[in-house]
Amino acid sequence: MYLGDYIVIERQIAPFRFECRSVSTGTPFTAEVDDDKRHLFSDRSWIDRHPTACWFLRPDGDLIRCTIHRDSPAQCKFYRCVMMRVLSSTGEQVGTITETLALHSEDPALRAAYDDALWVIRDTDPEAEERLQEFLISRGFEIQ
């Protein structure tokens, strides 16, 4: 919520494209709002109520999503916030997955399913988050 202090938008160059700078490194980067998150980004009501939040975060149901996930700077990619809670078929939380797509779990069935997923899903895939979620659901897990 406070990464707004770490990303500066230098200027908007298209409706969903921005020239930005990473404050911590001074590195410039171009960010384009992910196609599938443009509807979230267009609603400014949440960001107006949270002025210290990163300008690219938006609520999506119970989650807060990065709308520039594909183009986010390194500091964001290494930030370890939880993007998925993984539940067993009985509703018990058995693990979490962070924004870097790292699994945190001791559950052997979840670890095996996650390892299988890595054989077909690359973290550089722009749809990796969605594909991982679908893969785990197909293996009997619930995702929140």
**d(Cα 138, Cα 141) in Å, to the nearest integer?**
7
Calculate mean pLDDT across residues 125-139: 90
Token reading at 37: 């998150």
Query: pLDDT band at residue 132, thresholds of 50, 70 and 90?
Result: very high
**pTM for the structure as a whole:** 0.55
At residue 84, the pLDDT reads 85
Cβ(114)–Cβ(131) below 8 Å = no
- Please give the structure tokens belonging to residue 2: 């406070």
* d(C-alpha 131, C-alpha 38), whole Å: 19
